[in-house]
């Protein structure tokens, strides 16, 4: 017959057999460096939009962006920003803005550098910021 052992909890404070190593400046520096590298890696992997459209027209507008075979459309309220999550190929971009009380306005930008920030003015024209 086998002898039964007394049951003990799986995790308990008394189960630690040693003390924690001291928090020396060198250990703190290594920890801070590792944390900084992890934070930098996370920041670098955040997807960035190619185009940001800011509505500075003072009214709701519908904006369509076309370029390189890609197209995206969004309705923007007053003072709203749209981060266009569409991958545009380098080359000309065509912006089409529909205002509620005016005909639509088209603006073409020849070869803008990415990332691009543009604003819609009260007349519906798009200009880089």
Residues of the chain with pLDDT under 70: 1, 8-18
The pLDDT score that the predictor gives to residue 20 is: 80
Only one residue has tokens 């075979």, namely 69
Helix, strand, or coil (residue 4): coil
CB 84 within 8 Å of CB 50: yes
What pLDDT score does 1 carry?
60
Is the pTM higher than 0.75? The answer reads: no
Which pLDDT score, from 0 to 100, does residue 13 have?
A: 60
Q: In sequence order, what are the residues at sequence separation of 6 or more whose Cβ sits closer than 8 angstroms to the Cβ of residue 77?
A: 55, 60
Token look-up 């073409």 returns: 108
Burial class (CB in 10 A: 0-12, 13-18, 19+), 55: buried
Contacts with 21 (C-beta within 8 Å, 6 or more apart), sequence order: 27
């Amino acid at each position: 017959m086998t002898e039964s052992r007394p049951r003990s909890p799986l995790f308990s404070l008394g189960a630690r057999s040693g003390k924690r190593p001291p928090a020396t400046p060198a250990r703190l520096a290594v920890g801070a460096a590792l944390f900084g590298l992890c934070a930098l890696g996370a920041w670098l992997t955040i997807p960035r939009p190619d185009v940001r459209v800011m509505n500075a027209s003072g009214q709701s507008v519908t904006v369509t962006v076309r370029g390189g075979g890609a197209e995206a459309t969004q309705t923007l309220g007053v003072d709203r920003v749209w981060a266009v999550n569409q991958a545009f190929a380098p080359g000309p971009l065509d912006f089409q803005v529909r205002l509620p009380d005016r005909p639509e306005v088209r603006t073409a930008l020849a070869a803008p550098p990415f990332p691009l920030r543009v604003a819609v003015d009260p007349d519906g024209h798009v200009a880089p910021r």
